[in-house]
């Protein structure tokens, strides 16, 4: 193929479809971002499941027979978990606007670090409250202690996995900031 054929082919290429200004504005709005939609779905599912759990735990899991402080801790931890998720959603919906893209990303990275820390703490508190709730009236034997250790290790592994997911999100933003320099 010579240069004239290449030029001719280039001129004859038809654009697939032109985006209108409205389409471009919709695509750039944060509320249309797929990550935010996934977070919204995650928030809704977690909230529904936690509220359903709190509505039935007293009857199904004999909450009335557990110590009052365990019930209170479970309710507070579940409420905190939902509040942190809601706060994260609202913070991600209202992304800070800096003077330029680099400053905006730096502010966003700072918010993500705070959100990730709060999310990990609330997850750990809820997991701990759940374990305390279910183990508060158990007479432990050696086998039951091993099961408890397994449950605690599973909780810690889940927290670590969540930490890695948050760290990857933050590292992605940090790399983008570094590329702008």
Asked whether residue 17 carries a pLDDT value surpassing 70, the answer given is no
Question: For position 29, what pLDDT does the model report?
Answer: 54
- Residue 86: its H or E element: helix 68-93
pLDDT tens-place string over residues 19-39: 666 655 555 554 566 666 777
Confidence of residue 41 (pLDDT cuts 50, 70, 90): confident
Backbone angles phi, psi at 115, to 5 degrees: -60, -45
- Residue 49: its H or E element: helix 34-60
Question: For position 179, what pLDDT does the model report?
Answer: 77
- Residue 74: its H or E element: helix 68-93
Mean pLDDT, range 142-155, rounded to an integer? 94
How many H-runs (helices) and E-runs (strands) does the chain carry? 6, 0
pLDDT tens-place string over residues 57-99: 888 888 888 999 999 999 999 999 989 988 888 887 777 777 7
Higher pLDDT, 17 or 174: 174
Asked whether residue 102 carries a pLDDT value surpassing 80, the answer given is no
And the tokens for 16?
């697939």
* Count of C-beta atoms within a 10 Å radius of residue 115: 21
Confidence of residue 171 (pLDDT cuts 50, 70, 90): confident
Give this prediction's pTM: 0.74
Q: In terms of Cα–Cα distance, which of 115, 117, 121, 113 is closest to 173? A: 113
pLDDT tens-place string over residues 106-124: 888 888 899 899 999 999 9
């Amino acid at each position: 193929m010579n240069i004239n054929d290449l030029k001719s082919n280039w001129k004859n290429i038809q654009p697939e479809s032109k985006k209108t200004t409205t389409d471009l504005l919709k695509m750039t709005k944060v509320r249309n971002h797929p990550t935010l939609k996934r977070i919204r779905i995650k928030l809704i599912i977690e909230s529904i499941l936690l509220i359903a759990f709190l509505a039935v735990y007293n009857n199904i899991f004999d909450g009335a027979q557990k110590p009052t402080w365990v019930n209170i801790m479970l309710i507070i931890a579940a409420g905190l978990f939902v509040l942190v998720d809601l706060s994260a959603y609202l913070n991600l919906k209202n992304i800070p606007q800096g003077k330029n893209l680099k400053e905006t990303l730096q502010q966003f990275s700072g918010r993500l670090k705070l959100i990730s820390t709060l999310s990990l703490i609330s997850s750990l508190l809820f997991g701990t409250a759940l374990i305390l709730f279910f183990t508060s009236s158990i007479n432990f034997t050696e086998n039951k202690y091993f099961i408890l250790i397994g449950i605690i290790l599973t909780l810690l592994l889940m927290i670590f996995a969540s930490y890695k997911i948050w760290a990857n999100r933050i590292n992605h933003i940090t790399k983008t900031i570094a590329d702008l320099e």
